[in-house]
Amino acid sequence: MSHVYTSVVSTWGGILVVVLASVVGDIFLARAMKQVGDVHALWGRAGLWTVVARVLSNSNFFLGVTAMAVAFFSLLFALSWGDVSLVAPAAASLTFIGNAFAAKIFLHEKVDRRRWIAAVLVAAGVGLLAG
């Protein structure tokens, strides 16, 4: 009984860590690219290497990539703790919901009703497809 309880807690704990890390990663990457500015325009104006240099010199970019790496490896751990058919779709679809909240709070994006509906629909769809 207690063994089952422990495995449920560790599985959902793992899913939570994956979701948190990938949401944090997405937020930092989005913030980094907003600071870099429109890549298409910058490329046309200053060339590809300026774009690359500006992305690589952005500290938010490295925080984002680090968080993404944490998300990837914690996904591997979570997959070893729980069933693939639960962990993969739960982590993928909860990330969409978490990102909508985080983008509203931290990036001050205007998440209107249209985007909430999209986030929920996509999360449900990904949950069904990834399962």
Partner 1 sequence: MLSHGMKQTGNVSLHHLQSVILAVANPWVAMGILLLLAFFASYMNSLSWADLTYVLPATSLGYVLLALVAKFALHEQVSPLRWLGIALISGGVGFVAGGPALTSHSHHDAAREPEPARAAVSAGAER
Q: In whole angstroms, what is the distance from residue 104 CA to residue 9 CA?
A: 29
Show contacts with partner 1 in window 1-20 (CB under 8 A).
none
Show contacts with partner 1 in window 35-64 (CB under 8 A).
36-40, 55
Residue 4 or 56 having the CB closest to partner 1: 56
Q: Is 126 in the site for partner 1 (CB under 8 A)?
A: yes
Q: Which residues contact 46 (CB under 8 A, 6 or more apart)?
A: none
DSSP string of 65-122?
HHHHHHHHHHHHHHHHHS-HHHHHHHHHHHHHHHHHHHHHHHS-----HHHHHHHHHH
Query: Which residue among 9, 72, 80, 85 contacts partner 1 (CB under 8 A)?
Result: 72
Q: Is 125 in the site for partner 1 (CB under 8 A)?
A: yes
Residue 49 burial (C-beta neighbours within 10 Å; 0-12, 13-18, 19+): exposed
Counting residues that bind partner 1 (by CB under 8 A) gives 42
* Contacting positions for partner 1 (CB under 8 A): 26-27, 29-30, 33-34, 36-40, 55, 72, 75, 88, 96, 99-100, 103-104, 107-112, 114-115, 117-122, 124-131
